[in-house]
Amino acid sequence: MFSLHEIAGLLHTSLECPDSKRMVTGFSIDTRTLQKNDLFVALPGEKTDGHAFLKTAFAQGASGAVVLKKMLPELAGKGSSPQAPFINLIPVSNCEEALQRIAQVHRLEYFIPAIGVTGSVGKTTTKEFLAYLLGKRFCVLSNRGNFNNHLGLPLTLLRLNSGHEVCVCELGANHAGEIDFLSGLLRPQIAVITRIAPCHLKGFGSLENIYRAKTEIFNHMTKDATVILPDDDPDLLQCTRSKKLNIIRVGESRGAEFCLDSVKHLEGVTSFRVKKKYRFSFFSPASFLARNAAMALAAAEAAGLSLADLPSQWDDYQMPQGRFEERKIGQDVRLIWDGFNASPAAFRSALEVFGQIRCAGRRGVIFADMLELGDEETRYHRELAHDLNQNKFDFILGYGQNAKTTVETLKNELAFENAHHFEQAEDVVSYLKDRIRPGDLLLLKASRGMRMEKVAEGLERLTAGNTSVGQGADSCHH
């Protein structure tokens, strides 16, 4: 538990409207998930202001609130009701910085190893694999979902308690300096960089800047720390060597210190071998995730786990939602939903694996824009058309502004007739209503911001309890 007076003290402010009976057992920036005795941090935002939700926070049992100093005259003596007054107000000049400061101090109170996972693609999956593996022996704290930014990481670190033995956190960024800041909060002893690829170019400006940004994770590591890298990126290796860290490369090349081989996919299960000796498997048709699993194993071994003590079959591992997640809808129609990363590299990997999955009917791709590619977005969406065309899919449906470039390239330059563009996700669902057939296999792929889950959910609603959907359809032509 946290003392309200101590929190106010470390923020160099006072505790207004104090109630000494209350203690802080957690932190919240969202009243929808706030628990009793949480300290509510009223973050001002472009669309909503946390101060507007103070009544709700205290009605739900908040023990206090971090608020802006300038708002204090309006808040003192008020509340949601006489039974739920605004108490234990901690006035500050910047609520976001206050949250981060509390997390920074709290992290330093726990002398437990921390592992930071970053990269352009594969961060969340690698982090989840690693947390799963370490959880076989240790009590692990890790980010929930993709709580990997300037707000999510502090909230994660504030969950640290005396029972935790290791911390595994994903660090995300879309501009320079962010990984440096997050690494300063986490203080990792082990770092994993999954892969560097064109992603968030709008914020970074160039691939070279992405390399600089992701290697900022080293700025707060000691010289005896360990870094896990892919074996096929000489530029990343060069960036790392200057830091005098213990480097472990993971992959299928001869130069890899932690070798991966025998990657196979059969009936929804991916299997692989590491170090020419240890075999593992997990439920997923996405065989490209074997590399993420191998990087997690390398980090787990560096943290003190023996690979021989780990289960060879990860039957109880749950793949993160929306990451090459297979769902069955209607009458024998399967969806592969991969809606959290749609960088060019991630798209290419997904298409390759999707083309190898057994399919009794037609194979179709539903895609939307790859976001945050900056000035290169048109070029990358044109190149996507060539990647799609190489795989000989039966039909391709896209929505979004940049997806139109891909569809037009497919139709006009590559003579792929069965490609169609729509304005929004709902239009795709409506179009497919009478065109889905039993046995169809669909890949749903887009950047997170394009809300591809709307297509997945729409198709599930469309086919729920309706075995006749698609039975009269002959094709996906207009």
pLDDT at site 80: 62
| Cβ atoms 148, 170 nearer than 8 A | yes
| Mean local confidence (pLDDT), 114-135 | 95
Q: Give residue 475's pLDDT band: very low, low, confident or very high (50, 70, 90).
A: very low
Res. 474: pLDDT tops 70: no
For the chain, give the mean pLDDT: 91
- Model confidence pLDDT, tens digit, residues 243-274: 889 999 999 999 899 999 999 998 889 999 99
Q: Which of 448, 178, 164, 31 is nearest to 156 (CA)?
A: 164
- Model confidence pLDDT, tens digit, residues 36-46: 999 999 999 88
pLDDT at site 236: 93
Distance of CA 167 to the CA centre of its chain: 17
CA distance 218 to 209: 15
pLDDT at site 385: 96
- Model confidence pLDDT, tens digit, residues 278-314: 999 999 989 999 999 999 999 999 999 999 999 999 9
- CATH 3.40.1390.10 matches 4-94: yes
SS (H, E, C) the chain: CECHHHHHHHCCCCCECCCCCCCECEEECCCCCCCCCEEEECCECCCCEHHHHHHHHHHCCCCEEEEEHHHHHHHCCCEEECCEECCCEEEECCHHHHHHHHHHHHHHCCCCCEEEEECCCCHHHHHHHHHHHHCCCCCEEECCCCCCCCCHHHHHHCCCCCCCCEEEEECCCCCCCHHHHHHHHHCCCEEEECCCCCCCHHHHCCHHHHHHHHHHHHHHCCCCCEEEEECCCHHHHHHHHCCCCEEEEEECCCCCCEEEEEEEEECCEEEEEECCCEEEEEECCCHHHHHHHHHHHHHHHHCCCCHHHCCCECCCCCCCCCCCEEEEECCCEEEEEECCCCCHHHHHHHHHHHCCCCCCCCEEEEEECCCCCHHHHHHHHHHHHHHHHHCCCCEEEEECHHHHHHHHHHHHCCCCCCEEEECCHHHHHHHHCCCCCCCCEEEEECCHHHCCHHHHHHHHHHHCCCCCCCCCCCCCCC
pLDDT at site 471: 44
| Mean local confidence (pLDDT), 161-165 | 96
Q: Which of 327, 329, 326, 359 is nearest to 466 (CA)?
A: 329
CA distance 68 to 80: 18
Q: Which of 64, 60, 59, 51 is nearest to 11 (CA)?
A: 64
CA distance 203 to 179: 13
CA distance 350 to 329: 21
Whole-number CA gyration radius for the chain: 25
Angle at 454 between CA 342 and CA 122, to 5 degrees: 25
Least confident of 107-121, 322-336, 408-422, 434-448: 322-336
| Cβ atoms 311, 417 nearer than 8 A | no
Q: Give residue 316's pLDDT band: very low, low, confident or very high (50, 70, 90).
A: very high
The predicted model scores a pTM of 0.89
CATH number of 110-309, picked from 3.40.50.970, 3.40.50.12240, 3.40.1190.10, 3.30.365.10: 3.40.1190.10
pLDDT at site 468: 45
| Mean local confidence (pLDDT), 134-163 | 94
pLDDT at site 11: 97
Burial 48-74 (b: 16+ CB within 10 A, else e): eebbebbbebbbbebbbbbbbeebeee
Q: Give residue 478's pLDDT band: very low, low, confident or very high (50, 70, 90).
A: very low
**Domain limits, the chain:** 4-94, 110-309, 325-463
Q: Which of 158, 16, 142 is nearest to 98 (CA)?
A: 158
Counted residue by residue, the chain has a size of 478
- Model confidence pLDDT, tens digit, residues 373-423: 888 899 999 999 999 999 889 999 999 999 999 999 999 999 999 999 999
Instruction: Name the percent of the chain lying above pLDDT 70.
Output: 95
Comparing 112 with 86, the larger pLDDT belongs to 112
Res. 463: pLDDT tops 80: no
Instruction: Give the C-alpha distances (Å, rounded to integers) separating 401 from 199, 247, 420.
Output: 18, 42, 13
Instruction: Give the C-alpha distances (Å, rounded to integers) separating 335 from 176, 319, 364, 424, 430.
Output: 36, 15, 10, 19, 16
Looking at domain 325-463, its CATH superfamily turns out to be Mur ligase, C-terminal domain (3.90.190.20)
Angle at 205 between CA 199 and CA 206, to 5 degrees: 70
Structure tokens at 110: 């726990």
